[in-house]
Amino acid sequence: MRVGLLGGTFDPVHLGHLRAAENAREALGLERVAFVPSAQPPHRTAPLSSARDRFTMVALATAGHAGFYASDVELEREGPSYTVDTLRAWRTRHPADELVLVVGSDAFAEMDSWREANALFDLCTVAVVPRAGETPAAGPGPAVPVAGPGLPVSSTEIRRRVAARQSVRYLVPESVADFIEKRGLYR
């Protein structure tokens, strides 16, 4: 099976993430796209919401699309969530899968700072999704560009809006907006 892995903090997951995954699914002929929330992102400050809450939001966001699903592969491990470890774990569990790591252009430009960055290109195909209106920067290895319409939505802006008691409807799936409200996240 040709599977895309889209990792991230997803604090929270938003429509831009879903659109990027759909662009990758269509452009690269992916049968499934696994959204992989990072338990402990090694290159960022700690997320504001728990790993379980972020996983739940991803599960809610992907529930309506037969080709998308939430994976807890990084939540099962202790310590920082290194992509190379995730790819190796996936290969062990699903040796027949053809893996495509779907990353944003900002992450691709920083991949040379990732743990065992060169090994990533041996474990999978890397696909780069540019942010809306952006041309992807060069990265540390070969990558397949992903074309398609992007949405200029950011998790930072969503958290800011929630903290300011502003609506996030139409920036996140309705089920995610409801979950954020019910759990009192980002206030």
pLDDT on residue 41: 87
Containing 73, the helix (H) or strand (E) segment is none
Banded model confidence at residue 106, pLDDT cuts 50, 70, 90: confident
Segment 21-58, tens digit of pLDDT:
999 999 999 999 999 999 988 877 889 999 999 999 99
| Residue 74 clears pLDDT 70, i.e. is over it | yes
Mean pLDDT of the chain: 94
Asked if 46 and 77 count as a contact pair (C-beta separation under 8 A), the reply is no
Q: Which of the residue ranges 75-79, 96-100, 103-107, 140-144 has the most confident prediction, judged by mean pLDDT? A: 96-100
Helices marked H in 29-145 — which ranges? 51-62, 83-93, 105-110, 117-123
pLDDT on residue 49: 95
* Strands 32-37 and 144-145, sheet pairing: unpaired
pLDDT on residue 140: 78
pLDDT on residue 137: 67
Number of Cβ within a 10 Å radius of residue 95: 7
pLDDT on residue 141: 82
* Average pLDDT, integer, range 66-87: 94
* Average pLDDT, integer, range 47-76: 96
d(CA 54, CA 59): 9
pLDDT on residue 128: 95
| Residue 120 clears pLDDT 70, i.e. is over it | yes
pLDDT on residue 138: 73
All structural domains of the chain, each given as residue ranges with its CATH number in brackets, are: 2-183 (3.40.50.620)
Q: Is the dihedral of CA 18, 22, 23, 24 positive or negative?
A: positive
| Residue 91 clears pLDDT 70, i.e. is over it | yes
| Residue 136 clears pLDDT 80, i.e. is over it | no
